[in-house]
Structure 1
Amino acid sequence: MKNYNTYKVEDFIQDEEFRDWVQGRGHRDAFWRSFLQNYPEKRAAFQQAEQFIRAAHLAPEPLSEAEIRKETEKFIEKATAYIDDRSGFSGPSQYENRGAYLLRWGTAVAAVFALVIGLGWHFSARKQVAAAPRFADSLAGQLVETRNDSHHLLRVVLNDSSEVLLSPQSRLRYPSRFSGNARTVYLQGEGSFSVKRQGQPFMVYTGDMVTKVLGTRFVVKAFEKDKKITVQVLSGKVSVYKKKPERIPDNKEVNGLILNANQAAIFEKNDGNLTKTLVANPAPIAKRAKAAPFIYDEVPLPVILKELETSYGIPIQFDEQTFHACNITAILSSESLYEKLDLLCKASSATYEITDGQIVISRKTYR
C-alpha cells in the first residue's frame, strides 16, 4: 500500500495512477479529487507535480511540407556554394566528379541529421523525470495542451492557481507559466473557470470570441459542432468581445459586452451576432437570500421586485407607479427565479421578458 504521507514531487510524477488521472485517463477520479482534503500538507508537491505532467505534454507545432522544403533548399544551396569555394571545382570537365562528391556528402549529412534527432529524442525521454524542475523552467511561455477524453470533469490547475473544470470532449491550451501583460488560454469545448485575481487580465480565446476577466467564476461553452458560443457568469464581472472587431463609422453592431453575475452572452457563429441574456438558472448572490425564504404579507410588488433584484444581482425594470397599489402575500423559498416571477406576475396581472440581460415587467394588455 502506498504511503502518501511521504510523497514528494517526484513520487507523484512517478505514480502511474496519478499521471493517468492528470491526463484524464484514470479510474480513481474521486480519490484524487479528494486527495488534498485528506492530505492538505501535500498541496504544494501535488500541484507542482500536476503542473509538470501537463507541461511535459506540449502542444505540437509541426512544420509544413512547404516550410521543410524551403529550408532544405536554402541549406543545400548554401552548402553547395561552400563546397565550390573550398574544393575548387571549375569547368565542365569536373561536373561528374563534383556530382559524385555532392551525392556522398548529402548522404552523410542526412545520416548525421537523423542520428542527432534520434539521440535528442532518446535523451530527452530518459531525462524527463530526473530533470523535472529544470525542464519545467525551460517551458515557460510555451503552450501546454490538456484534453479530456474521459466521461467526467477534469480539473486543471494553472500556474497562477486559477482552476478550470474541463468538460468531456474538451481541450485547453495554456502556457506552463504565465508571463507578460495578460494570462491567455485557448478553449475548445466547455470549461468552468475559477480565476484568481491578479494585476494581469485573464483572457479566454474561443474561436472568434474573447472573454476577459481579472478574477471571477464563469463558464464558457464553445464546442466546434455547436452554432453558438456561450459565456455564463457565476460571480464577478466579465468582458466579452469579438477577437477582431471592425471599427466602421455609423456601424450599430455591438462589438463588446459587460456581463455581471447571472448574465450570459451568446455569440452566433454564422453571422457574428453577440447578444446579452440571463443564465438558464440564476442563483442568489446575496447571503440573506440563501439563509431564509422570502416571506411577504401584503407587501407592495415594487418592494418585492427590488429585493429580488438585490438578491440575484439582476436589473429588474418596471414602472413603480403602475404597481404601487399592488400588494402581495406569498412565501417564496425553493422556487427558481423564473418561477418566482411567474407567481408574482400571475398575482399582479403582469408579464415579464428578458431583454439585454435584464428583466422587464409590464402590465398585461387586454384587447
Structure 2
Amino acid sequence: MKPYESYTVEDFLEDESFRKWVQGQGTQEIFWLSFLDKYPGCRDTFRQAEHLIRAANVDGERLSEKEIRAEIERFIEAVGGKEDHLEISFSDDDEESGRTIFWKRWLMAAAAVLVLGAGIGWYYYQNNASAPQLAANTASPANLVTTRNDTSKPLVIHLNDGSEVTLSPKSYLSYPSEFADSARVVYLTGEAIFSVKKQGQTFMVHTGKVVTKVLGTRFVVSAFDDDRNITVQVQTGKVSVYVDKPLEKEVKGLIITANQAAVFEKSANQLSKTLVENPEKLPNGAVENILKYDEVPLPVILRDMEKSYGIPVQFDADSFWACKITVAFSDESMYDKLSILCKTVSASYEIVDGQIVVSGKGCSK
C-alpha cells in the first residue's frame, strides 16, 4: 500500500495511475473519485497536482532539458522578469522511467513559472501552438487554467468551489484556479454537464454570445463552434439564460427549469425556450409513479404528469373532465405517455415556449 496520507504534489505527479485518471484514461476511477473521502488531509496537494496535470497538456517526449530551460527563460524575458539567468539541471543517471523524469522536470519548470506569479495554465496556453483559441465572443481574462478533453470519454473537472464539470470529448473549459469573491465565471467551448454547488456567488458559464447564470443546480451546455445552435438544458433547479449584449442597457433572457431547454440560434441571433429531447422524472417528485389509472378524468392524469416532470401542461379542464381514462403505463417516455392519452380522446399536443399544450374537442358528458 502506498503512503497516500503523506503524498506531496510531486508524489501525485509521479503516480502514473493518478495522472491517467486526471487525463480520463485510467482504470481506477472509483478509487480516485473516493480518494479525498479516505484521505481528507491530502485535499490541497491532491487539487494542486490535478490542476498542474490538466494545465500540462503536453507530450513529455517533445520536451528536452534544453527546451524546458529555453521556454522558461523566454517566458521570464517576455514578462519582464528581473532574473538575469535561470539554471535548471537534471541528473543524467536517473534510473526512473522516462515518463517520471518528464514529470519531475515539468514540476520544476512549473514551479519556476509560478514563483514569478503567473498561472501555469496561462504559461502553457500561450506557448502551445496546437492549443485551440477561444472564440472572439468568448474572450476570457488572463491567468485561467484551460482544460481540454482530447480523449474519447467524458472528463471530470473538480472546481475549487466544490462544483463538478463533466467535459465532453473535443471540448475545453477555461476557469480560474480560485474563484473571486464576487462571482464564479467559466468559459466553455464544446459541451459539458455542470453540477454547481450552491453558494452566495453567482455561477456563470460564457459560451459565445450566450451566458448561463445560476446559483446551484445541474444543467448541460452544448456550444460547439460548428453547431448552428447553442443549447442549455436543465436537469434540476433553475437557470437564467441571456444573450450577452454589453452595449445595450436592456438584456433580455429566459428562465428555464427542469426538463426545459434554451436554444440560441446563431444565424438569427434569437433565443427561444423548448423542452429537452427526453424529459426525466424529477428526483423526489410529488408524484412517484404514473403507472395505472382506472376511469380517471384526463385532467387528473395530466396534472400528475405536470408534477412528475416539472413541466407546465396547458389544457381546457372543463372540456376534458368528462374524458375518463383507463390505462396502464410501464416504462414509456413522457412523450409516449402523452401520445397514448391524446389518441384515447382524439386530442393532440404540441410544445410551446417550454410548455405542453393539449388541445381537442373533449368528451361529451
Where on the TM-score scale, by shorter chain, does this alignment land: which range? 0.7 to 0.9
Correspondence 1:1-367 to 2 at 5 A: 3=2, 5-6=4-5, 8-10=7-9, 11-24=11-24, 26=25, 28=26, 30-37=27-34, 40-43=37-40, 45=42, 48-55=45-52, 119=86, 125=106, 127=108, 139=119, 142-244=143-245, 247=248, 255-287=252-284, 291-363=288-360
Amino acid at match of 1:296: Y
Change (3 A) 1:39 1:125: closer
Matched residues, number: 305
Residue 275 and residue 176 in structure 1: after superposition, are their counterparts in 2 closer, same or farther (change >3 A)?
same
Change (3 A) 1:16 1:344: same
Q: Give the direction of change, closer, same or farther, for the CA distance of 1:32–1:178 in structure 2 (3 Å limit).
A: same
Assess if the C-alpha contact under 8 Å between 2:18 and 2:32 holds in 1: no
Deviation at 1:137, TM superposition (A): 9.2
CA-CA distance at 1:232 after TM superposition: 0.4
Is the 1:262–1:314 contact (alpha carbons within 8 Å) kept by the matching residues of 2? yes
Shift of 1:54: 1.9
Change (3 A) 1:53 1:117: farther
Deviates more, 1:167-176 or 1:4-13: 4-13
Q: What secondary structure is seen at the aligned counterpart in 2 of 1:275? A: strand
Q: Structure 1 residue 12: deviation in Å?
A: 1.8
One-letter amino acid of the structure 1 residue matched with residue 268 of structure 2? D
CA distance 1:322–1:118, shift in 2 (3 Å) = farther
Separation in 2, partners of 1:357, 1:45: 45
SS in 2 for 1:287: coil
Give how far 1:219 is off: 0.3
CA contact (8 A) 2:5 2:41 kept: no
**1:97 aligned residue:** none
- What is the CA-CA distance between 1:59 and the residue it aligns to? 9.8
Higher Cα Rg, which structure: 1
One-letter code of the match for 1:330?
Answer: V
Distance across 2 between alignment mates of 1:274 and 1:117: 54
Deviation at residue 38 of structure 1 after TM alignment = 7.1
Partner amino acid for 2:228? K
Partner Cα separation in structure 2 for residue 18 and residue 135 of structure 1: 25
SS of alignment partner, residue 3 of structure 1: coil
Distance 1:36 1:114 in 2: 39
Q: Deviations over 1:110-160 (max 9, x none)?
A: 9xx99958728889956468799x869975983001000000010000010
Structure-2 change in CA distance of 1:218 and 1:148 (3 Å): same
**Stretch of structure 1 that moved more, 155-164 or 14-23:** 14-23
Letter in 2 for 1:148: N
Map of 1:86 onto structure 2 = none
**Structure 1 residue 353, shift from structure 2 partner:** 0.2
Identical-residue share of aligned pairs (%):
49
After the TM superposition, which of the residue ranges 7-16 and 291-300 deviates more from structure 2?
A: 7-16
* Mean CA deviation greater in 277-286 or 212-221: 277-286
Q: Distance in 2 between matches of 1:287 and 1:57?
A: 36
RMSD (Å) for aligned C-alpha atoms: 3.5
One-letter identity of the residue aligned with 1:159: N
* Structure 2 Cα separation of the partners of residues 235 and 350 of structure 1: 30
1:57 Cα deviation after fit:
5.8
**Stretches of 4+ aligned residues off by more than 6 angstroms:** 120-124, 129-132, 134-138
- Give me the whole-angstrom Cα distance separating, in 1, the residues matched to 2:293 and 2:174: 50
Kindly indicate whether the alpha-carbon contact (under 8 Å) linking 1:58 and 1:143 is maintained by their aligned counterparts in 2.
no
Letter in 1 for 2:276: V
Distance 1:9 1:283, change over 3 A: farther
C-alpha contact 2:36 2:43 (8 A) present in aligned 1: no
Could you list the runs of 5+ residues in structure 1 that have no partner in the other structure? 61-109
2:298 and 2:52 mapped to 1: Cα distance? 56
Partner SS state of residue 39, structure 2: helix
Distance change in 2, residues 1:121/1:273 (3 Å): farther
Q: Which amino acid aligns with 1:168?
A: P
Which structure: greater helix fraction? 1
Q: Which moved more, 1:299-308 or 1:328-337?
A: 328-337
**Secondary structure at the counterpart of residue 189 of structure 1:** strand
**Contact residue 55 and residue 144 of structure 1 kept, 8 A:** no
Partner amino acid for 1:287? N
305 and 245 in structure 1: CA distance in 2 versus 1, 3 angstrom threshold: farther
The one-letter code of the counterpart of 1:119 is: L
Unaligned segments of structure 2, at least 5 residues: 58-76, 91-104, 121-141
Aligned-partner Cα distance in 2 for 1:59–1:205? 23
Query: Residue 159 of structure 1 contacts residue 177 of structure 1 at CA under 8 Å; is this kept in 2?
Result: yes
